[in-house]
Structure 1
């Protein structure tokens, strides 16, 4: 499971300690929100996530202990600190983590939380809010899939090509500001289907 949000040079694979630290619903939500919206304060995150600033502040500190997030240098005050997710790709659930039961449990929890968040985002835009969006955003957004027959090596090569393309856009537009600019999430999933329909319910 890879969460890409910055230069390839800063790629990081989370160890078991960091995976256990993020394996909490609010911490996943905080980490994901900082990835999507940039630097935030504990009170801003609390308002966005429906939590108290005390709760978000506590979980921000726990995430920071493991280098998952960091305080924004030179911004904020002693009373109102700003937090950000460091740029760079992050791989969750590496081989070392998945080699232990506790690592597999933590990875599975974080993955489920991320999938649930992505599913809610798709539902919100395409079902709940679509008619309220401008025509420009309705036409720009997409929900699509392609079905192929590939080997594992071919799928890996396809993913590498797509990742490289996305990375050029991340590098070019990561901090873009201006009229008409808003946060955008690109969700690219690729996975093998069961080899036959047997047993599918």
Structure 2
């Protein structure tokens, strides 16, 4: 067995530098970025309706995200008063080795990751609550599972690579799919070492 840990993905990923991380390190900016990622192009007005903020606030944060190329204006869509914004294609890596070398980089990384994970957890809890209230069509199509296995770092990296390949394949097949019955679906996979002796 080799000591080399395989890369988890060959998909193009943007590694966020310190400036982009600091620009994203605001709860509303994370929410806006995530909504555009999950639901596609949005305007300041549609984001205001989704977040409960004013369109002036969402417009301000959109410009801050665009300044660091986290989002971009959709070409040929909208007007000067109502601009549409999208996220560039490809993955984003948060918490790069360069970014976490400084206290400011570590703090920004923690804010961004915490906000993303809080959003994912809340979406999961909303789904569970809705599923318990009503027997929906998605119940047989969803998966909420946890497993604990004992692995070396190399084996864990191999599992990550396999999971990432499945996710990448689904993204490649269905990313731009539209039509009746098609809704945004989140895929959330976690592989990480547990603390020793539990906490």
TM-score under structure 2 normalisation? 0.92
- Indicate if the aligned counterparts of 1:12 and 1:89 stay in contact, CA closer than 8 A: yes
User: Equivalents in 2 of 1:96, 1:181: separation in Å?
Assistant: 39
Candidates 11, 20, 25, aligned match of 1:8 = 11
Match of 2:154 in 1: 153
TM-score under structure 1 normalisation? 0.91
Match of 1:33 in 2: 35
2:183 aligned with 1:182:
yes
1:46 deviates by 0.4
1:133 deviates by 5.0
Match of 2:48 in 1: 46
Superposed CA RMSD in Å reads 1.2
1:164 deviates by 1.1
Q: Following TM superposition, where does structure 1 have runs of at least 4 consecutive aligned residues deviating by more than 4 angstroms?
A: none
User: Equivalents in 1 of 2:48, 2:167: separation in Å?
Assistant: 31
Q: Which runs of 5+ in 2 are unaligned?
A: 1-9
Match of 2:7 in 1: none
Q: Which runs of 5+ in 1 are unaligned?
A: 1-6
Q: Secondary structure at the match of 1:90?
A: strand
Alignment of 1:1-201 (within 5 A): 8-9=11-12, 11-132=13-134, 134=136, 136-197=137-198, 200=199
Q: Secondary structure at the match of 1:156?
A: helix
Provide, for residues 139-191 of structure 1, a one-character-per-residue CA deviation record: whole Å limited to 9, x for no partner.
Answer: 11111011100011111111011101110110110010111110000010111
User: Equivalents in 2 of 1:37, 1:133: separation in Å?
Assistant: 24
